[in-house]
Structure 1
């Protein structure tokens, strides 16, 4: 009996544990698609595109100076941890006329991190509102065309989020005002989507070999 027990502990339990965790990783390994076919910023005059990029999309609107806090939260809690990942970018939609304020913001952000993957796209009210509607979320823009929420858009122009969030059920975006939400939810979801693409890349490379 002792030998049997030892055999179970040494060989069987590790296999069961491996299968359990492997199954968990598989089930947890994809972030749900909430909206398909988001526009690739084609309505804007810009060199920035969402296609073939993993993008964090936000709305700074027409009063960038008052939205600096949300940008700093994102920079510190999310961007600094992931900006070196290939094809990862932050895309902020800004109202025309805010160019000087954005330049000031960029200088302040650059003190804290390399901001090469922060992108700012300018447009008028109609363009910004139209793009926001394409996300098809339950979140509305504020009167100044801004939002404290940011959104994850994948390389195939799909909005990603949660379908079983413990607080909201379906979770379309992440509240940048809440440091706790950035730490406890958004960081996890960014890790998931980046890991998803890492795994897909490894699989493709292995198949080529």
Structure 2
């Protein structure tokens, strides 16, 4: 009897615990679907697209200098940790006329990281408002067509986030002026969505006929 108990403790119990936590990750480790059919960036002149990419979508607005701190926070806390993943990108939707200011920002960001997956697209006010409204959030753009919040859009142009956030209830975006929000919430949510796609890829590969 004692030998049986020892064997159960040493071998079977760890397996049961593993299966419990693995099941929990599979069932609950997913980001909520908040808004489907986010508008595609069809006005981009540099072939940037939301379709088929995991995108961090942002709106820096007309006053680029005023949003440099937000961009640096995002670059250091999120971009540098995840930019090596395939199909991952940043897209900043900018007002036309900010091209020169953006070039200056890119030069400063380049001193901190390879910015190959930072994409800037330029549209008029109607374009920018259309993209932002399609997110259907409880947030808004200011008079400069900017917001400190960025958004996670998946490969199917679906806004992903939290529907049970302890602070906000439904959490549509992440405040780039708050290092705590980036560190404590956005980093975790990026990890989750990347894990979702990795698991889906493994499943698809396993399901293919040999």
Shorter chain as denominator, the TM-score bin is over 0.9
Hey, what does 2:129 align to over in structure 1? 129
Q: Output the CA distance in 1 between the equivalents of 2:151 and 2:73.
A: 15
Shift of 1:125: 1.3
Whole-Å separation in 1 of the counterparts to 2:20 and 2:146: 43
CA distance in 2, matches of 1:40, 1:173: 18
Deviation string, structure 1 residues 83-131 (Cα, Å, up to 9, x no partner): 0111100000111100010000000001100000000011111111111
TM-score (norm 2): 0.96
Which residue in the other structure is 1:167 paired with?
167
Shift of 1:45: 4.3
Q: Does 1:176 align with 2:191?
A: no
Secondary structure of 1:15 counterpart? helix
Paired residue for 2:109?
109
Say which is worse superposed, 81-90 or 44-53, in terms of deviation: 44-53
| Cα RMSD (Å) | 1.2
Q: Superposed, which structure 2 residues align to 1:1-209 within 5 Å?
A: 1-208=1-208, 209=210
Helix, strand or coil: the match of 2:147?
Answer: strand
Give TM-score scaled by structure 1 length: 0.96
Tell me, in whole angstroms, the C-alpha distance in 1 between the residues paired with 2:12 and 2:201.
Answer: 32
In the TM superposition, structure 1's runs of 4+ consecutive aligned residues that sit over 6 Å from their partners are none
Tell me which moved more, 2-11 or 55-64. Answer: 2-11
| Counterpart secondary structure, 2:49 | coil
Secondary structure in structure 1 of the residue aligned to 2:198:
helix
Contact conserved, 1:44 with 1:127, CA < 8 A, in 2?
A: no
Secondary structure of residue in 2 paired with 1:147: coil
Task: Decide whether the 8 Å contact of 1:53 with 1:154 is kept in 2.
Answer: yes
| Uncovered stretches (5+) of structure 2, i.e. residues with no partner | none
Q: In structure 1, what is the Cα distance between the partners aligned to 2:100 and 2:43?
A: 22
Tell me how far 1:147 sits from its aligned partner: 0.4
Q: Is the 8 A contact 1:91 1:118 kept in 2?
A: yes
- 1:132-182: CA deviation from partner (whole Å, max 9, x where unpaired): 000000011111100000000000010000011111111000000110110
Report the CA distance between 1:15 and its aligned residue.
Answer: 2.1
The answer on whether the counterparts of 2:39 and 2:130 sit within 8 Å (CA) in structure 1 is no
